[in-house]
Amino acid sequence: MAVLPIYKLPDPVLRQEAREITEINGDLQRLIDDMAETMYSAPGLGLAANQVGELQRLIVFDVSHKEGRPRKLQVVLNPCIVAGEGEIIREEGCLSVADFCADVRRHAQVLVKGLDREGKPVEITGEGLLAVVLQHEIDHLNGILFIDHISRFKRGLFLRRLKKQAAAR
């Protein structure tokens, strides 16, 4: 396994929509393992394939250690939110958006369907933190970042700071 570079805003790959996975092979299995290693070493709660430069509909996540339980890696290929209800506002950060966190409004519960790493159908009902992570990572696959869910004012402040930092380098 390898730790992959995580692409950061403003890299254009983060704004591109990922393609559906149609073939499960050794390359995909290696990518899954490398993404898991990358997520754990970052450390993060989830990672979408386009965050490591791969435009494939693939997410890995693990909220168990955040909740005080042993690691439990979960993988979903071609994930799709089929239902969402309730509302939760929770502070989010992102491995691709350096040094910025903000409160984001999301569904409190979601139902996600997709495939596991072997290609078998999987359904995940997520509540609370898991619901937030699922929505956050699936947004990535659609070229959406958590900053797209905050006010224009806060987003503008962050983007100006980002430009200033880039100009200073």
Domains of the chain in start order, with CATH, are 12-168 (3.90.45.10)
- State the chain's mean pLDDT as an integer: 94
Higher pLDDT, 68 or 104: 104
**Angstrom distances, CA of residue 50 to CA of 8, 14, 31, 59, 70:** 11, 6, 11, 9, 27
SS3 of 103, please? strand
CB atoms < 10 A from the CB of 27, how many?
A: 10
- Predicted TM-score (pTM) of this structure: 0.93
Catalytic residues: 137
pLDDT given for residue 122 in this prediction: 98
